[in-house]
Structure formats: structure tokens, C-alpha cells
Structure 1
């Protein structure tokens, strides 16, 4: 959905992008990779027709995840 703006389940084009957030106490839609490191934001894409959703992480953040979890 991120790249095509089309839902893979129902083929609808009404897609919402909900950006990842860092809220109070480091809550929100993100992944923590360390206490002092900035959390990695996780963006959501939601189909407004059927409700299907996907979560995406920016490519430049993948090395941080690999370092932490590999």
C-alpha cells in the first residue's frame, strides 16, 4: 500500500497514512533500540474500505534494528 496506494486485499485506493509518533514517556507507534537512541518510527497504512493495515519502517532505520536485534 505504501508504494502503490492500492489495498492488496480489496483493491480500493482510499488509503490513509498514519505517521509513527513519539509521545510522552516514549510511547506511540515506534520501536525502541536503546535508552539514549531515538526510537524508530513505524508508519501505518490503512485501507478505509476494508480496514486492512500495514506497518512500514524507513529504510535508513533498518541498520539500527539489525544492530539491536540481530
Structure 2
């Protein structure tokens, strides 16, 4: 749970306050997530495990094959 909170905090901190469009919102958030996962590769395992346990939504469909 602590790892999930750290990742969520990092992604949230990267979100612009008033993005012009969806790309402007998601690009910095995903860049931050990738940077955090590169620094701490074990965090990716947390994401994969959670997706396998709760395979719902588009993100789960896209990422479940990466685990």
C-alpha cells in the first residue's frame, strides 16, 4: 500500500493544475510514472499484481500482457 501511495503521489504531483487538453494532462503524469518505475523497477510488479487481481478498465487490458 505504501508503494501505491508513493506512485500515486508522484503522478498526482506531476499533473498540471489547468491542462489545456487531455494530452497536456496525461503526458506529464505518464512521464513521471515511467521515471519513477525506472528508478524503482520493483514498483512495476505492484502495478502488475494489482491489475491481475482486479482486471477492469482499459489500463488493465493494456497492461496485463506486460506482466
Scaled by the length of structure 1, the TM-score of the pair is: 0.30
Structure with the larger strand share: 1
Which is greater in Rg?
A: 1
